Amino acid sequence: MLSRCPHSPQRGTGWLEGWRLTFGGEDIGWDGALTTVVEDPAQRVFVVLYDVPEIDERELDTWDGVTLGYYRKLKVRVQTLDGDVLAWLYVLDAYEGGLPSARHVGILVDAAIKAGAPDDYIQWLQTRPCNPPTVAPGPIIEIPDEPPTFLGNADDQQGHGWDDDRSH
């Protein structure tokens, strides 16, 4: 973000409640499917908030394909530790589906780590299927269908959102 928008300081982090991180537009992405979010009342997405001035907003619009019609901007409410804030985000204007590249998922994981996302959310991101696979052939690793659930208490912030029943 810093290289694309040098005038946009990070303001904080929060949760986009009622949305799910997913991928789509594999046919328009040069490196696999593109990141997006879709409404899903049972899910939430960890997000980073920035103060974005108009000059950087125009740069992001161009970089992220708004001017080409790939993405559209939506205003959303983000839950933070300081209360709800309004923010805008980009939503892919294409069908959901397809696999992102391993490089693309790695970028998401690195950004989540730098932003201080909970450990179990980072683990969930790391297990997202991608193309090409990020692991060498070997034993099948069970991948959860759902991201971890968080209740907002201190234990969840430290990465205890997974169910404890991992005996299978």
Does residue 146 form part of some domain?
yes
Is 94 contained in some domain?
A: yes
Written as six digits, the tokens of 72 are 């559209």
What's the pLDDT tens digit per position in 121-152?
Answer: 999 999 999 987 545 555 555 656 666 665 55
Whether 113 shows a pLDDT value over 90: the answer reads yes
Distance CA(150)–CA(46), nearest Å, equals 11
Write the pLDDT tens digit of every residue in 73-92: 899 999 999 999 999 888 99
Residue 166 lies in a domain: no
- For residue 78, give every residue at least 6 positions away whose Cβ sits within 8 Å of its Cβ, in sequence order, or none: 14, 15, 16, 47, 49, 84, 85, 86, 87
Considering the domain boundaries, does residue 43 fall inside one?
Answer: yes
Domain count, the chain: 1
Q: Which residue has the higher pLDDT, 50 or 43?
A: 43
HSE on the CB side for 104, CA within 13 Å? 22
Query: In which residue are the tokens 């799910």 written?
Result: 20
CB 43 within 8 Å of CB 19: yes
**How many angstroms separate the CA atoms of 147 and 18, rounded?**
12
Entry pTM: 0.72
- Enclosing domain of residue 118: 10-157
Residue 152 lies in a domain: yes
Instruction: For residue 120, tell me if it sits in a domain.
Output: yes
Averaged pLDDT of the chain: 80
**Whole-number Å distance between alpha carbons of 22 and 3:** 24
Please check whether residue 2 lies inside any domain of the structure: no
The single residue listed with the structure tokens 């303001």 is 11
Q: CA-CA distance, 98 to 28, in Å (whole number)?
A: 11
In a domain, 102, yes or no: yes
Residue 49 CA to residue 112 CA, distance in Å, equals: 12
Question: Which of 20-29, 48-57, 99-108, 139-148 has the least mean pLDDT?
Answer: 139-148
What is the CATH classification number for the domain harbouring 134? 3.10.490.10
Residue 71 is predicted with a pLDDT of 84
